[in-house]
Structure 1
Amino acid sequence: MRRVLCSLLFLLAAAVPTVFAEEVDERDSNRYRYSILGDVVDENGQPMPGATVRVLGTTFGAGTDSDGEFVIRLENAKEYTLLVSFIGYGSQEIKAVPAVRPPRLHIRLVPSSNQLNDVVVTGSFVAKPLKEVPVLTRVISQKEIQALNPMNVETLLQYELPGLQIGYNSMSQMPEISYQGMDGEYMLFLIDGERVSGEGADHNVDFTRFNVDDIERIEVIKGAQSTIYGSNALGGVINIITKTANRPFSGNLNARYAGSNGQKYTASTGVKKNRLTSYTSLTYRTKDTYEIGDEVGKTTVTEGSDGSSAEEQADAGSTTVYGYNIWDFLQKIGYTCNEKLNADLKGSFYRNKRDKRVGKMYQDIFLDYTLNGKVTYLPGEKQQLVIGYIYDNYQKNQDYFLSGKKTTDYRNIKQTPRIDYTGTFGKHTVSVGFEGDFEYLKHYMLEDSSHVNNQLYAFYAQEDWDILDELNIVAGVRADYHEKYHWHVTPKVSLLWHFCDHVSFRAGYAQGFRSPSLKELYQAYDMGGMGWFMLYGNPDLKPETSNQVSLSGEFTKRGLNMSVSFAHNRFRNKIAYMSLGDGSSDMQYVNADNAKTTALETILRYRFGFGLILTGSYAYTNDYEEVDGRNTSLVRPHTATFNAMYSHKFGKIGFNCSLNGQWGAKFDTYTRNQNDDGTYAYEITTYDARTMCSLNTGVTLPKGISLNLGIDNLFNYKDKAADSSLQVPQKGISVIGTVNLNIADMFGL
């Protein structure tokens, strides 16, 4: 019954915008008497469905249909500038004057030789080509997502970002992230520029709520360089940009099948007609539970406090990775009121029914629903005012299926109002804004499963100054007000120097600030569940602060793009947990010793003229977390990713093939254990190197039919259960089949 209801709601959401668009068309025919029309083709003269045509300086725009044609209706017959763009192609600006019977524009786009023309928005609210952004930014495009064809966002990020590790939390049975020495609490995840609520694994968001089929692209800012999204983002910002309608009518049906390794089914529809834009998506995802067992446990070397050492073989163990059944629903509606004003509304729903855990009398059900509204007003030429609000309610329920009782032991609600103004005056672009963060947390780890609240306010200002044609600087300051810690000001500055036509340099300095989470402040929880030991919060914690310096150089010539970047972070008052020192095993969050991370990353990308793109990246991370003079870091020092992607069109049939890989080096680390007599023993553990590969091939047939066949974990790599804290354990090879039906192309819409 629930599935039938969801399907009916989906069909209703898809139908209503279409009817409304037709009504708007009739109502506006007299007021918007002037039109601009044309068609967009590729380098071979073939129509380009889904190309975007924006009228600069206004809120109007259109998408091309299956014949590559577009129509934009306007109120005034004056000269406008059109910006025509398509993923993977160079953008064009075209001058046009609307008329009652306008001449047809014929626009031809040519492929970009590299990704530097891709437009990004995360560093500021002004859309800028990647080559003009002073802040170190990485873009994962829709084409790269399609080539990898991942089941989840964790796999996608791990194949695209060197230095990123996805571990498995043994307590929550959920994935947790580490990126070039930064754990999950230092990474700020956004959806369409807005913060998300909820915790999956310890201090990590619930990554399963990110539906890959709804992602248009991902923008990654490294370090605390973003003035706009600065709070609690000492390690960086990962902004997930979701899809929207990009043609007058669109519809897609997608099925991905990998047996017990996961299934995914998505239906989506969109409308972009006249002044209305609507996008609707419904996805069902499922994956089976599996177990990884070790025949032999890992070897550790134990060092006593007196300097003695002994080699020990640990007992063989196992790790269970629990499956899930997930429903995702997304609805986006946009309405253009006039040339200066438009409004957007977005709602989403996520339900994750996790497989029953061994020994538990209940089943976990995770829920999240969001509502996000935004109004954009253009007060003058090259000026923009945005007012937005988001409500995000995430909760974890327990279904006691034998008794029929359901309880909620975790709820996290975030409300975020935002006001932003951006204006360009000559060579200066100024951004100022306000952001609120009102948080409610009910947590089973708080004493008596109680709840707490917190309020945080932030004011920020940023200037983007084109000092010379070759030199650009972005300077900003962010002031955060926390109701417990009061004011904290963090300055940031970034510089971009185009040394010559092919060489650019970037440099940046940023201070970071992370206030303790509500859990770190007020937790009181029996971590073993059987009186083994307590983990307490600490209301006397100080905020963490950081200082980051970054440098990078980039060389680009035709299809070749090379870059080398360096970043160094120093932390003060880093929050960790340590023994109470009272003879018990109890622990408490404390401000521990200072810490530092240093990361070096290099990327090499070459686009050949016959459809082949080769990409390789390498990251070195020197992460040092000292305990009694020993490094306890779980970060692999050397990691790399590589990709070979080939695409070509044979008549009306398109072919693509992609080989993706990730590699992590072998390394050693220390752990500290307390002996019965109060002394400490130190264990050095060796983690083996790890290589994962995937191969995907696909064809695009006429009438909008796409078929894909892939092999995940190509060389049948099998992880050890004992290494699950370092990486989500993989059980071996799997074969993936994907079918996509583009309804708009199928029926020529």
Structure 2
Amino acid sequence: MRCKLLILFFILLSSSALMADEHTHEAPAFKVQGIVTDEKGEGLPGASVWVKGTVVGAGTNAKGEFSFKLSSKNKCVLRVSFTGYEPQEREVTPGGDSLYRFVLTPSNNALNEVVITGTRTLKPLKDVPVLTRVISQEDIAQVNPLDLQSLLEYEMPGLQFGLAHGSGLPELKFQGSAGGYVLFMIDGERIAGEGSSNNIDYSLIDMDNVERIEIVKGPMSTLYGSQAMGGVVNIITKDANRPFTGNVSVRYGNNDESKYSLSLGTKQGRFSALTSLSYRKREAYALKDKEGQIEYSYYKDIYGRDSVVADTSKKGMSSVNGFEIWQANQKLSYTFNENFRISLNGTYYNNDVLEYVEQKEQDRFSNYSINPRVYYAINASHILDFSYVLENYEKRYVYTTSLPSKKVFGDFTNTVRLNYTGSIHEKHTLTAGIEVNTQKLQHYWFDNGSGKKFDAQTYVLYLQEDYKISNSFSMLAGVRSDCHSKYGFHASPKISLMYKYGVLTLRGGYGMGFRIPSLKELHSEYDMGGQGFFMIYGNEDLKPEISHQGTLSAEVTKGIFNGSVSGYYTRFFDEIALGLAPDGKNQQYYNADDATRTGVDVMAQFRFRNGLTLKGAYAYIDVHSEVDGHNMASDRPHSLTFTANYSKTFGKITLSAALNGRWMSSVETWYKNSAGGYVKNEYESRTFCSLNLGARFPRGFRFTAGIDNLFDFRDKNVTADQSVTLQRGIGFIGTLSVNIADLLKL
């Protein structure tokens, strides 16, 4: 019933806007037209031209030309931007025969790139008090990843993907926090569903449809959920930014992987639309141990003395699941006038999990989502944004026999949000909003998969003040208040400060995190393995987790150089863990002792004017999850990512080469065996690289030849260490893409 009312409300808003448009259409229209070029005079297709303070904008065609109409002849400010170039702003007067020409120059760094995640307002990266990391479209092209997991592993030190026990699906750890502590969003809306335990389904992200990724580390964002204790990852998808947009690409790799994608769209006057379709497939594979894993078991004898038993396991084999994915994304938008725009986004996703040894049943994940939005600019300084998201994520068992499929997991969520952003005296930007989240969950961990469902509701109020105290000093402060149907009200304050002195920028902040126990953690009742060995129980007496994080960073930008050092310390209270139940046999969720996370991130980048870019990032994590003085964490304390990219234009052909690498240190981890002894495992360090050679030809043709795992790194003990992505042999990849708009010169 609630869904129907919200949809009806959206239709009424749309109808009123249409009626308003009939009146505005009677008013005269004044044209704004021009051309955007690079420093050589070549047109830049796909550049963005926006009227500040309104919802009106346009993209340039193959010649770099743009044109749109306004209902007023009042002076306005145009903002022109293009990836890799310095943006420009200019005051213009609509109407007449004036042709406005913008000449953009290459950017020394990406700090003028506009981001939205930290403040929910468009703001240059260099002016955001909340430390934000951006993975640009250029970065994505250099890695040429098949999926989100591959991209993040090359771009984010301090992050590691492993395989979840049982399902074998990807499981994330980020700055020492598990995947359930990181909030993943698409275009500012949270992603529902669960792939592996407490992790989203990372295959939901179609990399060919991603414009950029913005990352805010830790619980520093007031606007996107206090439960994001580990950070926020906001995936911004592509829009139709030209009168005609069209791309087709084919990817094939020798390691049984392939991908085909097509996108078609248009931005004509007030209307824009973009349709994206993709098919991805990778076969399952198996890896064997090079040698047995040596384990050291420590026991106490009857006299209390330590005894050590060394045991070498037999060589084993571990399999990695494959996938076969169909996905469709649709974006629609209509601008009624300078103040009013509506949009509608929709997604459908189907993933058949492929296993190395075919079973009688296979997992099928599916998802559909609908996201209408209404934007209303009261004036140039005050904007309202209303959005509604319906998402239905399911997991089914599909049988090889004639039996019908069986639904074993269903996550049905609704999110309604009304957001206000207003600027006062150019120094104060206030953001306030109200949000309602509802969830109805069916999980195969509930009552052993009987189909039982549980639900929860969360009502949210948030308020944030972005105060530019002076040209050098600014502050971002806010509070997010969550009222949960079971746990009641809780307020989480945040504050970030930024000070600029010449080439130096200092940032510091404090954020409180608040994570409500999931429905799974509260209500599980599951026979692990189905053989009666032990049960996993939820705990309705769980307390919410609370964290306190402090951050401090220093950033230096001078010419072609940009570098930063940042540190953080997080203290967790009532951390939720899964361990031995009071009966000594089964397992149950419980509130563990306090835990801490400490880390340091270092980043440096050089962008030389000859086309060479060098970039490196290092992360140190100190994670303690101790039992009787033994650290049970398997997080790699040291990790490093590096990139060397070079591009050069010869006539009308641009050649490029990108070397990407990742190094992770060794780690020593412990677990407790059934005999009561503590077992130590040592996991080796890991280094793997990729090389991509690309060529961009006239008329929109682009070809990339890649080598993955360039130095043929292979894990010695694939059966022992599931905390990382297992590496197999060298992979060769070829990708051909065609920009149809450039091919047809549209």
Do they fold alike, i.e. is TM over 0.5? yes
Q: What residue number does 1:287 align with?
A: 282
User: What's the offset of the Cα at 1:596?
Assistant: 0.5
Would you say the 8 A contact 1:356–1:364 is kept in 2? no
Q: Map 1:193-592 to 2 at 5 A.
A: 193-305=188-300, 306=304, 307-356=306-355, 358=357, 360-426=359-425, 427-447=427-447, 448-498=450-500, 500-584=501-585, 586-592=586-592
Q: What residue number does 1:81 align with?
A: 77
Gaps of 5+ in 1: 1-24
User: What's the offset of the Cα at 1:31?
Assistant: 4.5
User: What's the offset of the Cα at 1:362?
Assistant: 1.2
Q: What residue number does 1:729 align with?
A: 726
CA distance in 2, matches of 1:35, 1:258: 49
Q: Deviations over 1:15-47 (max 9, x none)?
A: xxxxxxxxxx99998755310111000111111
Q: Deviations over 1:373-422 (max 9, x none)?
A: 11011112211100100001000111122123111010001110001001
Q: Deviations over 1:81-101 (max 9, x none)?
A: 0000001111100111111x4
Rate the CA distance shift 1:724–1:344 in 2: closer, same or farther, 3 A: farther
User: What's the offset of the Cα at 1:723?
Assistant: 4.3
Rate the CA distance shift 1:28–1:276 in 2: closer, same or farther, 3 A: farther
Would you say the 8 A contact 1:593–1:626 is kept in 2? no
Would you say the 8 A contact 2:168–2:196 is kept in 1? yes
CA distance in 2, matches of 1:489, 1:336: 37
Q: Report the secondary structure of 2:111's partner residue.
A: helix
Q: What residue number does 2:118 align with?
A: 123
Q: Deviations over 1:243-277 (max 9, x none)?
A: 11111101011011103341111000111110011
CA distance in 2, matches of 1:102, 1:327: 48
Q: Does 1:739 align with 2:736?
A: yes
CA distance in 2, matches of 1:148, 1:656: 12
AA partner of residue 651 (structure 1): G
Would you say the 8 A contact 1:261–1:734 is kept in 2? no
CA distance in 2, matches of 1:654, 1:455: 53
CA distance in 2, matches of 1:41, 1:26: 36
CA distance in 2, matches of 1:150, 1:347: 24
Q: Map 1:714-725 to 2 at 5 A.
A: 714-719=710-715, 720-725=717-722
CA distance in 1, matches of 2:721, 2:267: 46
CA distance in 2, matches of 1:536, 1:502: 55
Quote the RMSD (CA, aligned, Å).
Answer: 1.5
Rate the CA distance shift 1:32–1:53 in 2: closer, same or farther, 3 A: farther
CA distance in 2, matches of 1:260, 1:406: 30
Q: Does 1:35 align with 2:31?
A: yes
User: What's the offset of the Cα at 1:485?
Assistant: 0.6
Would you say the 8 A contact 2:226–2:512 is kept in 1? no
Runs of 4+ in 1 over 4 A off after TM superposition: 25-32
Q: What residue number does 2:5 align with?
A: none
AA partner of residue 444 (structure 1): Y
User: What's the offset of the Cα at 1:230?
Assistant: 2.3
CA distance in 2, matches of 1:707, 1:265: 14
CA distance in 2, matches of 1:161, 1:640: 8
Rate the CA distance shift 1:117–1:228 in 2: closer, same or farther, 3 A: same
CA distance in 2, matches of 1:709, 1:30: 55
Q: Deviations over 1:569-612 (max 9, x none)?
A: 0000000112123242x010000111100010000100111000
Q: What residue number does 2:15 align with?
A: none
Would you say the 8 A contact 2:24–2:71 is kept in 1? no
CA distance in 2, matches of 1:649, 1:297: 51
AA partner of residue 548 (structure 2): N
AA partner of residue 553 (structure 2): S
Q: Deviations over 1:553-576 (max 9, x none)?
A: 001101100100001100000001
CA distance in 1, matches of 2:23, 2:730: 57
Q: Deviations over 1:126-179 (max 9, x none)?
A: 111111011111000000001110011001011001010000113112001001
Q: Deviations over 1:416-439 (max 9, x none)?
A: 000100100011111110111100
Would you say the 8 A contact 1:88–1:111 is kept in 2? yes
AA partner of residue 340 (structure 2): L
Q: Map 1:144-159 to 2 at 5 A.
A: 144-159=139-154
CA distance in 2, matches of 1:701, 1:583: 66
User: How many residues end up aligned between the 2 structures?
Assistant: 718
Would you say the 8 A contact 1:319–1:724 is kept in 2? no
Q: What residue number does 1:18 align with?
A: none
CA distance in 2, matches of 1:109, 1:67: 14
CA distance in 2, matches of 1:328, 1:539: 37
CA distance in 1, matches of 2:423, 2:650: 46
Q: Report the secondary structure of 2:83's partner residue.
A: coil
AA partner of residue 353 (structure 2): R
* TM-score scaled by length of structure 1: 0.94
CA distance in 2, matches of 1:288, 1:724: 22
CA distance in 2, matches of 1:122, 1:219: 7
CA distance in 2, matches of 1:545, 1:303: 34
Q: What residue number does 1:20 align with?
A: none
Q: What residue number does 2:657 align with?
A: 657
Would you say the 8 A contact 1:412–1:439 is kept in 2? yes
Q: Report the secondary structure of 2:380's partner residue.
A: coil
Q: Deviations over 1:39-62 (max 9, x none)?
A: 000111111000000011111110
Would you say the 8 A contact 1:491–1:511 is kept in 2? yes
Q: Report the secondary structure of 1:416's partner residue.
A: strand
CA distance in 2, matches of 1:433, 1:616: 38
- Taking every aligned residue pair, what percent have the same amino acid on both sides? 43
CA distance in 2, matches of 1:454, 1:534: 24
Q: What residue number does 2:43 align with?
A: 47
Would you say the 8 A contact 2:255–2:732 is kept in 1? no
CA distance in 2, matches of 1:723, 1:183: 19
